[in-house]
Amino acid sequence: MSNSNRPAALHAALRFVVTSNIPSDYKSTLIEVLTQAVRDDEAAERYRESMAEPEGEWQEHEISQLKSFLQGRTARGWQHADECVMQLAAQLHRGSESVRHKATELGLGAAVDYRFAKQSKLDRDE
């Protein structure tokens, strides 16, 4: 099944299962699985569409907010770096890669990327 036919095939399979004489234990499980697959595909499509949209130029107030949030911060691990990025991305309504890229561009990479934080620590220890 090609990706372009997948939504139609999932909906057809769901209609078939709903109208078939499959035992109810199996039927409810199949309906649940097919419904979740449809939802997952729709969510993935929305995500792809949102990532394809250009976010536009960074505004001065966004840069100020980014700088004030990250100033003096250093990621303590990968998860901490990702949490900082996700929090900023939500506040600024921007993609996480865009936030990470802009922070690195502004010299604040150690707060949003643990590689930079580790390297910075190694440089200070030498």
Q: What is the mean pLDDT of each run of 10 residues along the chain (126 residues)?
A: 81 93 92 91 77 76 95 92 92 90 94 89 76
Amino acid, single-letter form, for residue 99: V
Predicted local confidence at residue 15, as pLDDT: 94
